[in-house]
Structure 1
Amino acid sequence: MYYDLITELVDLIKIYEKESEHGSQDIHLFLQWLNAHYKKQDHPAFPEPEWDGKSKGRSADSVINTSLVHLYKYAKLHAKAAIADTEFSTPDDFIYLISLVSFGSMTKTALIKLNVHEKSAGIQIVNRLINNGLVEQAAIESDKRNRMIHITPKGTRLLNESMQNIKKASMNVTEPLAYQEKMDLIRLLTKLENFHELKTRGSF
């Protein structure tokens, strides 16, 4: 057994008990305190990771960008497997339908922007969904150049039939992560997304 590690952990818990104002036994609060405790001692809670090319000057930004691109490709592979033998042509098809179910009917422009597509690519996806009877569009009196997009009963049925496989594909992408790691990743990704959404607003 890791007796030294257990002893060190017990000592840390004793310090936590003395310093903690709330007296909670919540493990997440303890981990937050532990991070802060090590930071105060100029001791990072987690050691800086190693990566290919680090010793030759490859930056953390380069690693993150490459990982995001690779993860997108892996996610796409899982998504394609999830829609095999269905009426969906691409993963974008069910992503657009999920957007309509989650946020309700919206304009074509809003739907395309929500999914971060350029206008031409987004219009192709919407038109394909219309041609397949999965969504329908209606004119907007106040905006003749735009259309309101609604999911059809057929689109809802197909999405429901495929949802189990879609959820499994999503779980496959994040499979090795523990719950707390997923929460930490969501916070970081949300921070990145919010930054780029503001920075590129109006570009799509």
Structure 2
Amino acid sequence: MKYKLLTGILPYLEQFEDTEAGETIDDFVAWMKTAPTLKKDSTTTVLKSVPLQGNINAQICQLIALMYKYVRSYYKKGFKDSPLQTMEDFGFLATLAMFGDLRKNELIQKNTSEFTSGMEVIRRLERNDLIQSFLDQEDRRARRVKITKKGQAVFYQTLPVLKKMGDIATGELTESETQQLFELLNKLNYFHNPIFHEEKEASLDTIIKEYVEV
């Protein structure tokens, strides 16, 4: 069997099934005569290099994980000379630049981080003199953190790099596709954020029952 030919047809078949052009092979052949040409590079590359498994929901999970890896690699390129070693470093610094001083646990929560890894980020930023900690006047058992002048300078220096990363990450998406992707991802963020913060000990079955099957 010529698998190369088959993989070339599959994207068109998927697009055909999304239309109302018919359900038979003859309908597909007729539709192909007027079908728009698909970009071969993006389609065939994905089919060859990404071994997606499971149903469409499982494949979406894998694609999101792959996107994280791609963006992380771009971050390393863009921030190779910056004291912000990880995307979490940038996120924590950006949060303080936006909200001002926060308690350490508030900073960690706003960045959707685990407590242990969040504290590591805070310590790393403190060592680099990008943030400064001090006693909370309302609760002297707690400590707050704020961005330093050096941290502010580093933060604003990184904004042009962040824009370049965004331009690369959205690839060949049109303006309307980019807006649609943003809205979908934002919708998923609103769904998952409370689960992350409030269901630390919950099993997958419990999460499905309480949040999905409703």
For the criterion TM > 0.5, the same-fold answer is yes
Q: CA RMSD in A?
A: 2.8
Match of 2:158 in 1: 162
Equivalent residue for 1:116, pick from 107, 112, 121:
112
Match of 1:84 in 2: 80
* Number of aligned residues: 157
**Greater mean alpha carbon deviation, residues 139-148 or residues 88-97:** 139-148
2:85, 2:69 → 1: CA distance?
Answer: 17
Letter in 1 for 2:178: K
Higher relative contact order (CA 8 A, sep 6+): 1
1:84, 1:98 → 2: CA distance?
Answer: 18
SS state at 1:200 partner = helix
Shift of 1:110: 1.4
1:194, 1:138 → 2: CA distance?
Answer: 32
Equivalent residue for 1:195, pick from 188, 191, 200:
191
2:133, 2:86 → 1: CA distance?
Answer: 20
Shift of 1:79: 0.8
Equivalent residue for 1:128, pick from 112, 124, 129:
124
Gaps spanning 5+ residues in structure 2: where? 1-18, 23-45, 48-52, 201-214
The answer on 1:61 being equivalent to 2:57 is yes
Q: Is the 8 A contact 1:109 1:146 kept in 2?
A: no
User: Matched residues, percent identical?
Assistant: 27
Mapping 1:8-157, distance limit 5 Å: 58-157=54-153
Deviation by residue 1:23-64 (Cα, 9 ceiling, x = unmatched): xxxxxxxxxxxxxxxx9x9x9xxxxxxx96xxxx93111111
Q: Is the 8 A contact 2:112 2:196 kept in 1?
A: no
2:157, 2:72 → 1: CA distance?
Answer: 19
Shift of 1:203: 5.1
Q: Is the 8 A contact 2:112 2:193 kept in 1?
A: no
1:64, 1:102 → 2: CA distance?
Answer: 31
TM, length-normalised to structure 1: 0.68
Shift of 1:189: 0.9
CA spacing shift, 1:203–1:147, aligned 2, 3 Å: farther
**Greater mean alpha carbon deviation, residues 133-142 or residues 116-125:** 133-142
TM, length-normalised to structure 2: 0.65
SS state at 2:142 partner = strand
